[in-house]
Amino acid sequence: MVNIGPNGRKKRPGAVVLFRSILFLFLLLSSSAILYGTAVNTRAVRDLAETSMESTALALSTSAESALRSGGNRAEGEVRNILSDRVVAYAMVARKDGTIVLHTNPSMVGGNIREAGLGEWLRTGKTFGRRIMLGTGLPAYEFNYLLHRPGGDPEILRLVLHTTRADRILSDARRMWWIVGGVLVLLWAVGIALDRVFARHLRLQAQVERRERLALIGQMTATLSHEIRNALGSIKGYAQWVDERVETADPKKKGLAAVLQGTMRIESLVNDLLLFSREETYSVQPVDVGVLVHESMAGEASGWKGEVELDPGEGTVVSADPEKLRRVLANGIRNAIQSMGDRGHLRISARPDDRRVEIRIEDSGPGIPESEIPRLFTPFHTTKADGTGLGLAYSKKTVEGMNGEIDLANRQETAGAVLTILLPNAR
Ligand SMILES: Nc1ncnc2c1ncn2[C@@H]1O[C@H](COP(=O)(O)OP(=O)(O)OP(=O)(O)O)[C@@H](O)[C@H]1O
Ligand SMILES: [Mg+2]
């Protein structure tokens, strides 16, 4: 959908909204998929790491049990051999009463595991494993297994395994989250950049189309105005010729004056039109704002009775075409005075920053009604009986042609309007 804005600028909200929605949906779906996939993987890795510890412990326990079941003199040595695996931190066999009968650290044999809940566990006899912390501060996995030796009471086989390998897998899985986080940030950054590029592309395209349309309208208007001006020249010349030959008392004199006044009005309108529609060439150079403001004031406000305050700053210089900027200032001053009538307060100021200079023409008139604001810069929009409504349209065209910006708004603190012109700072 293509809408034409109040300033003749094309808007494509439909395309932008559609692109944004699709992009946002894509980003949301892909982010959710990545997050879900990573969460599932992490859980699977964690389960796998725990299961692998449990399986190792179970395998070692059953091997130790079958070695003990086989009995004989070499049984204990064989069990020690099995339990000397690198993953085993320590292992022990204890009687029901907790007396240690076998330990990977021989000095512990004869000691006792005094532990609450041991009797309860022996009654249920269920194998179980849990994570513990060793006295050295290292994490470990404790596995309790009920041993059945032929002809004897059940005994406790406790295996404590190092968890280094499983923990490494888990920390790798945790690191995955950082990588996924980085990928997501990158994905969203690319998405946002794409959105900006697309919006910019649409804006530039709209500008190009608008310029082309305006150029076509300009050509047509220029041709038409030219023809009208030529024809008008003959009418005016003939009316003046007749007027000079008619006596003052002649009643025809009144009619001739009306014809002459009408032709002059059409002439000024056609001149404005020609000025607005012609293809501009800019002779940009450093222009002293103070000098131009004083000249424009002398031309537009010399007989005005209101208060004037000029504050263009010391040596404020802009990059502009002096003739075009003079016309823009003149129209701004004329508009301000026309809005105030005979009396009021007119303030013209200029403030430079590093890049640009802001010129403000402020008046104490009635300001602009809300409904007028969108149409201010539209060609031929005027609220004046004798206005052509081309002043601001021409100003916008030329200020933008000089790489500047222009805006007309109501003043914030007091009544009245302010015309703001931003132009490149020449300093
Ligand atoms: N300072 C202001 N205060 C209030 N309204 C303003 C002011 N400046 C402009 N306007 C409004 O904006 C309209 C358009 O201004 P613009 O300069 O384009 O045309 P114009 O002054 O009506 O005619 P032209 O400049 O062609 O003689 C004006 O008719 C007026 O309604
Ligand atoms: Mg005007």
Q: What band does 7 get if pLDDT is binned at 50, 70 and 90?
A: very low
Sign (positive or negative) of CA dihedral 157, 158, 164, 169: positive
Q: Which residues contact residue 205 at a Cβ distance below 8 angstroms, ignoring those fewer than 6 apart?
A: none
**Dihedral (CA of 329, 334, 340, 342) sign:** positive
Residue 9 banded pLDDT, cuts 50, 70, 90: very low
Q: Pull the structure tokens for residue 370.
A: 């809300």
Nearest listed ligand to the Cα of residue 336: 1
Rg (CA), the chain: 46
Torsion (CA) 118, 120, 121, 126 in degrees, nearest 10: 170
| Structure tokens that stand for 186 in this block | 């990158």
Per-residue pLDDT band at 371 (split at 50, 70, 90): very high
Cβ atoms of residues 182 and 38 within 8 Å: no
Give me 206's structure tokens. 């709209």
Ligand 2 ion: residues within 5 Å (CB): 331, 335, 391
Is 8 touching ligand 1 by the criterion CB < 6 Å? no
With beta carbons less than 8 A apart as the criterion, state whether 410 and 417 touch.
Answer: yes
Q: Could you give the CA distance from residue 167 to residue 174 in angstroms, rounded to a whole number? A: 10
pLDDT of residue 96: 84
- Cα–Cα distances in Å, from 134 out to 54, 115, 244? 18, 16, 121
Report pLDDT digits (tens) over 126-139.
Answer: 888 899 998 889 99
Closest ligand 1 atom to residue 336 Cα is: 1
pLDDT bracket for residue 125 (50, 70, 90): confident
Provide long-range contacts, Cβ within 8 A and 24+ apart, for 205-212: 206/9, 206/10, 206/11, 206/12, 207/9, 209/10, 210/8, 210/9, 210/10
Closest ligand, as measured to the CA of 364: 1
Put residue 366 in one of left, alpha, beta given phi > 0 → left and psi -120 to 50 → alpha: alpha
pLDDT bucket at 10, cuts 50 / 70 / 90: very low
Protein residue whose Cα sits closest to atom 11 of ligand 1 = 376
User: How many CB atoms lie under 10 A from the CB of residue 387?
Assistant: 15
pLDDT surpasses 70 at 355: yes
Ligand 1 centroid to residue 373 C-alpha, Å: 11
Distance of CA 111 from the midpoint of ligand 1 (Å)? 103
